[in-house]
Structure 1
Amino acid sequence: MDCFIALLILYSFFNINNVCFATDDTITPNKVLRDGDTLVSNGGTFALGFFSPGNSQKRYIGIWFNKVPEQTVVWVANRNNPINNSSSVVAKIGYKGNLAIFDGNSSDPVWSTNVSIPISTDHHSINSSALFYKLLDTGNLVLRDENKGDLLWQSFDYPTDTLIPGMKLGMNSKWRVNWSLTSWKSRDDPSTGDFVMSLGGRDSPECFVKKGSRVIWRTGPWNGQTWNGVPVMTTDFIYHFSFLNNPDETSFSYGFNITSSVVFSRIFIDNMGVFHKSTRVEDGHRWNDFYSSPGDTCDYYSKCGAFGSCKSNNAQHCSCLPGFEPKFPRDWYFKDGSHGCVRKRELSCGKGDGFLKLAKVKLPDTSNARVDMSLGIEEDCEIKCRNNCSCTGFSSAYVDGSGCITWFGDLTDIREFTEGGQDLFVRVDAIELGLVLQRGIHQIPVFDLPTSECNEETNAKFQLPIFDLASLMVATENFSHDNKLGTGGFGSVYKAWELWRDGRPLELVDPSIGGSFPEQEVAKFIQVGIFCVQENAKDRPTMSSVMMMLGNEAPIPSLRQPAFVLTSRFNSPDSSTAGSLNEISNSIVDGR
């Protein structure tokens, strides 16, 4: 009987302690956390205790969502130092105020916070009896000094594979902290896995998922609102995102736009290297991915190599940027564009080269880019790139048009979006610009910018270079048939005026069309097209005039010889009063 009473007393003692710890959120120097005990945050959102993941028998200390039925761990203390004997394991505040895990009777901890705290009894240092660890309702385990309230250590500074609201991804040089996510080895093993997600990049930081040194996926640079390469974040009404970039800290964090204690969120990288942004409600049956990546072929880093672009709804996936061609054409027949593209012709810097616009794209890897946030308009960014012959492309840094990113070297990991993304301007040679101009006329181009009256050459801001006769003769080798700019529905570009002048404009029509076209309509299109490339800017029509002429609502003025002769560029005495057109664009690329 005495033995039974003794056992009952012991049981009651441990049971009381278990109840105490189950409702407590704090570890103090005189408390011990045993296997089976848990700390629960004040609002009940998170719990801390010992656990075994999946089918594993090993024990770890971790933090998980307390209100989610299936244990979802967000932080693991001893991920690389598991415990095999759960019967004698304890966690307590040990030497110099560190939280430590002890296995059995060993005096050496299996794991500890390992923070340097100046412990002393004088007023200049910290009294160890005043230290406590508290699990906050944010999921952050913090070490504080009860007397001073100072934050001495926090689990948020040591993330494992998961980011929850309030945590950061990035680095702080002042505090020498680097926040990154590292995947679990497997579902049953939280030890350090193969994949790491971190914030990198010199001038324009972005997030990278890597396996060793190999990049698997990247977010694209921050565009003032979200990551450029994750357009789904643009329409996200549940989350808000924050990006900090100053001399001391570069970091990314996120939070909720809704206030609710029953909605939970996490960003994590799984053991296969896939990035997830997931949400769950308290009474829900599962976690729902708002976004995961890599999600399709084009998400994988540099799928189409340098100067290549990937489009997921295209069977071929890869295409070369304007002015480029496959480096190894044979590989492209087998849908392998990973070796990328090379220029069709070498650039002659300052000799008619310019820029073509790619709309709605994931901007290239910014590892070889520079950012100047002092530039506020696109034209300044173009000038900055044009004046440096090593610059291969440029873009506004933010979607509001502020800042300037310039690239030097290869443009890598570009993909096209149907929505989202940003405009990228790629440097191309003069001949490529001429080809785009030809396609623009053939497709009845859209003129994007408003017209303006330009009486002085210094006030003109032409988005496409104006070529003089000498430049055109060099580019075409004196208009050689073998070096013409190309043919389209309307034939050779530089033949249009000659055929029109001689009354033979229909010879521009592709012979394959045969006679199945309205001759008067085609002649009108040709006439308007020539009107749009008049030598003098004042002789060119406004967009509204073009639409009226094509719709037979206005007569087409008599044509003058277009921009392939040696005349005064701006001061022709018989210039008309029509406005100038500053940019020619189409739905695919824009010449600049």
Structure 2
Amino acid sequence: MAFLSHNSNYFFIITFLIFCTIYSCYSAINDTITSSKSLKDNETITSNNTNFKLGFFSPLNSTNRYLGIWYINKTNNIWIANRDQPLKDSNGIVTIHKDGNFIILNKPNGVIIWSTNISSSTNSTAQLADSGNLILRDISSGATIWDSFTHPADAAVPTMRIAANQVTGKKISFVSRKSDNDPSSGHYSASLERLDAPEVFIWKDKNIHWRTGPWNGRVFLGSPRMLTEYLAGWRFDQDTDGTTYITYNFADKTMFGILSLTPHGTLKLIEYMNKKELFRLEVDQNECDFYGKCGPFGNCDNSTVPICSCFDGFEPKNSVEWSLGNWTNGCVRKEGMNLKCEMVKNGSSIVKQDGFKVYHNMKPPDFNVRTNNADQDKCGADCLANCSCLAYAYDPSIFCMYWTGELIDLQKFPNGGVDLFVRVPAELVAVKKEKGHNKSFLIIVIAGVIGALILVICAYLLWRKCSARHKGRLPQNMITREHQQMKLDELPLYDFEKLETATNCFHFNNMLGKGGFGPVYKGVMEDGQEIAVKRLSKASGQGIEEFMNEVVVISKLQHRNLVRLLGCCVERGEQILVYEFMPNKSLDAFLFDPLQKKNLDWRKRSNIIEGIARGIMYLHRDSRLRIIHRDLKASNILLDSDMIPKISDFGLARIVKFGEDDEANTKRVVGTYGYMPPEYAMEGLFSEKSDVYSFGVLLLEIVSGRRNSSFSHHEDTLSLVGFAWKLWLEENIISLIDPEVWDACFESSMLRCIHIGLLCVQELPRDRPNISTVVLMLVSEITHLPPPGRVAFVHKQSSKSTTESSQKSHQSNSNNNVTLSEVQGR
């Protein structure tokens, strides 16, 4: 029996080893083509990770056969071998030729349809790598002798390059298809140009069609609509052989992207997560994007009518054609507005030196000359010293950029771009300054006289009123030792007495609101500046930790959609933060007020949604710090005079180092009930996806005009999220839209926002999009959004204690600690 048992084990081991050997060989063959293993029309090879396949396919409405590589399925084609030499039938075969080339044969007559066309006489094999790259290798040395990534078609995937070598002139460029159903080479191509400050050019045949503007290490300066997520993971580098290239990749290994050049010359991006399509978008083009639309020295602004204009001191070269909308001849300097550089250089004392007129948010013109000057002021001085220099711009990463020829392909953006300094004669600068100086001087004199009188009167009255309250207080500069140890050097310190005067001794009539931190007052400083003064209440549950956290976090941030911290005060045992004043208070004051909400039409709500998303994207991706807010809600969104949203209240924000784990853990769960995702409320786990969840709730509130907590006594659900999900499943989501803003013209936009909101509040953090993707979904005409999975919302609780807890948390706009035993996730 022991002998039989021993033999049985021995037999099992041998069988297992044979099976492993066969499987290993099969796996190796399954992703490889050799001289002895060909590939027929009805066969494919698959990469080891099963993500990519190589085989023959036919486009829609065509019988032509092409050899290609695709991701997941044939509609996601990333490379085509014989795009300009299609097979007319299914008799094609792929093999390794005796000279080592990878070839496509027409089997009946043996004619080579397509070949890698390398001058090699070695034995080779072709393998489909896990990256989607088809690699032809020398068998003896293992060296790569050809690969598909350096011979692309119309699509780029992670780790692929767009490259150029200034010495050899060799380029890796992409060529569009003729049409969606015709993969042959089309009219558009994309290549890397201007290698000192590299730009991607799109050509139409041999003419420039569009360009990105120079790359500054993070963005293309001439393409502000190519947002952070679109450029996430992009890297510029140079090989030892002088090849300059730009490539991209994803830090998240579950992500994949296909960036393609479309048949009409635009860029299209499709992103996938866990092999499922996440979104697709196309970078739209307007008239100003077309190269040289307004000709030399012509400035294009898509928000104006007409879109083309001339700079100050310039006029249309051909006024008749210009008036008819043909701007290609551009602009020339007006008579008498010629530069005086040569005369000054020759020692003339009659004329003054030229100056500069600055234009903001501009696309850098073509043909720049880059220098390594790190000093912005030196850029202007160097340009003035060179009579050929007609303009300059500065970027902290690229440094100085100069233009010595005609300024071509100019465009004005609503945001982004650079400040462009255009050289003009001294008299034009002088006229501008003189007019501005006279007007400013008159305003200053009048305002000064009136302001002085008002301040004298107010100061006297306030002194009388406040003098009694000063008794018994500590001296003005008495700061506790704890405060002295704080790192407040980077922030202006306000005198308590001046804040007291500005707020009329913190009078009740000046109170703007009250939260968990304490009351917020409106104040007017001596110079007339309006401020918001946030004073820590002695009875507040928050303390020095939240105060210092807000100081440290927000003092380092600058963004259009974040409230600006002006300074703080730590005198007399006080903890006070001073902010810019927001005249329209907070979003909830409009959104949930039956009368005020009528002032929030859909355009305003849409702009507010986008602004909040951009502010969060800055916190998560673009700021010097990586910040998770942890308390996003309507009462923490302030509105300025133009209804531009500003994210406020960073007392609970956390700074997370780049490169750390996606999730962090805290034992102290703080925030506002209803806006917290389940993983945070129940486990203390927070990440960027926590803010995404809060934004999703906020988005649903903005669209519906209903507070999340207003569903406390709803018969089916406890939250707006649950109610929205119920309507979605019933295919009645349109009824969620606030009747005050519903408009058939904007119905698709409203439904789109609800869809995005539901994607943001999905139960599992990994299923929620990151905020950069959310921004792209909001601002781009993405044709497809994935359906939302099960959302995370709270069931109605039956216990009285739970209900009371929920109600209590909703009665205030303060930050609340959550009792975990009273929260149940779905």
2:354 equivalent in structure 1: 353
Q: Which digits, 9 at most, give the CA deviation of each residue in 1:549-575, with x for residues without a partner?
A: 9759xxxxxxxxxxxxxxxxxxxxxxx
Q: CA 1:265–1:429 in 2, change beyond 3 Å: closer, same or farther?
A: same
Q: Residue 40 of structure 1 is aligned with which of 46, 49, 52?
A: 46
Given the alignment of the two structures, is residue 79 of structure 1 paired with residue 83 of structure 2, yes or no?
Answer: yes
Query: Partners in 1 of 2:320 and 2:450 — Cα distance?
Result: 43
Q: TM-score scaled to structure 2, two decimals?
A: 0.48
CA contact (8 A) 1:136 1:142 kept: yes
Given the alignment of the two structures, is residue 25 of structure 1 paired with residue 24 of structure 2, yes or no?
Answer: no
Given the alignment of the two structures, is residue 112 of structure 1 paired with residue 105 of structure 2, yes or no?
Answer: no
**Structure 1 counterpart SS, 2:112:** coil
CA contact (8 A) 1:393 1:408 kept: yes
**Structure 1 counterpart SS, 2:377:** helix
Q: Which digits, 9 at most, give the CA deviation of each residue in 1:5-56, with x for residues without a partner?
A: xxxxxxxxxxxxxx97998111122101001111111112211100111211
CA contact (8 A) 1:311 1:317 kept: yes
Q: Which amino acid aligns with 1:440?
A: G
Q: Which amino acid aligns with 1:292?
A: V
For residue 420 of structure 1, report the CA deviation from its aligned partner.
1.4
2:56 equivalent in structure 1: 50
Number of equivalent positions = 422
For residue 332 of structure 1, report the CA deviation from its aligned partner.
4.0
2:193 equivalent in structure 1: 200
**Structure 2 counterpart SS, 1:441:** helix
Query: Partners in 1 of 2:307 and 2:68 — Cα distance?
Result: 43
Given the alignment of the two structures, is residue 420 of structure 1 paired with residue 416 of structure 2, yes or no?
Answer: yes
Higher relative contact order (CA 8 A, sep 6+): 1
Query: Partners in 2 of 1:237 and 1:212 — Cα distance?
Result: 26
**Structure 1 counterpart SS, 2:283:** strand
Query: Partners in 2 of 1:377 and 1:355 — Cα distance?
Result: 17
Deviates more, 1:137-146 or 1:399-408: 399-408
Query: Partners in 2 of 1:408 and 1:283 — Cα distance?
Result: 49
Q: Which amino acid aligns with 1:256?
A: F
Alignment of 1:286-325 (within 5 A): 288-289=280-281, 291-293=282-284, 295-325=285-315
Alignment of 1:389-428 (within 5 A): 389-396=387-394, 399-400=395-396, 402-428=398-424
1:101 equivalent in structure 2: 104
Query: Partners in 1 of 2:428 and 2:287 — Cα distance?
Result: 29
Gaps of 5+ in 1: 1-18, 120-127, 445-489, 491-504, 510-517, 526-546, 553-592
CA contact (8 A) 2:391 2:403 kept: yes
Alignment of 1:98-497 (within 5 A): 98-119=101-122, 128=123, 131-172=124-165, 177-201=170-194, 203-233=196-226, 235-236=228-229, 239-245=232-238, 248-260=242-254, 263-281=255-273, 284=276, 288-289=280-281, 291-293=282-284, 295-344=285-334, 345-349=337-341, 350=344, 351-366=352-367, 369-373=368-372, 375-396=373-394, 399-400=395-396, 402-441=398-437, 444=440
For residue 274 of structure 1, report the CA deviation from its aligned partner.
1.7
1:92 equivalent in structure 2: 95
Query: Partners in 2 of 1:339 and 1:173 — Cα distance?
Result: 31
CA contact (8 A) 2:158 2:256 kept: no
Higher strand share: 1
Percent sequence identity over aligned pairs: 35
CA contact (8 A) 1:377 1:401 kept: no
**Structure 2 counterpart SS, 1:227:** coil
Q: Which digits, 9 at most, give the CA deviation of each residue in 1:427-462, with x for residues without a partner?
A: 111121113213533664xxxxxxxxxxxxxxxxxx
Query: Partners in 1 of 2:231 and 2:371 — Cα distance?
Result: 32
Q: CA 1:41–1:202 in 2, change beyond 3 Å: closer, same or farther?
A: closer
CA contact (8 A) 1:141 1:154 kept: yes
1:568 equivalent in structure 2: none
Higher helix share: 2
Q: CA 1:83–1:22 in 2, change beyond 3 Å: closer, same or farther?
A: farther
Query: Partners in 2 of 1:302 and 1:524 — Cα distance?
Result: 51
Gaps of 5+ in 2: 1-24, 345-351, 452-523, 530-826
Query: Partners in 1 of 2:418 and 2:225 — Cα distance?
Result: 14
Query: Partners in 1 of 2:103 and 2:29 — Cα distance?
Result: 21
CA contact (8 A) 1:63 1:75 kept: yes
CA contact (8 A) 1:21 1:39 kept: no
Q: CA 1:414–1:158 in 2, change beyond 3 Å: closer, same or farther?
A: same
Query: Partners in 2 of 1:423 and 1:297 — Cα distance?
Result: 22
Q: CA 1:239–1:430 in 2, change beyond 3 Å: closer, same or farther?
A: same
CA contact (8 A) 1:163 1:266 kept: yes
For residue 174 of structure 1, report the CA deviation from its aligned partner.
7.1
For residue 161 of structure 1, report the CA deviation from its aligned partner.
0.9
Q: CA 1:382–1:238 in 2, change beyond 3 Å: closer, same or farther?
A: closer
Q: Which amino acid aligns with 2:390?
A: T
Q: Which amino acid aligns with 2:306?
A: Q
Q: CA 1:410–1:64 in 2, change beyond 3 Å: closer, same or farther?
A: same
Query: Partners in 2 of 1:411 and 1:238 — Cα distance?
Result: 27
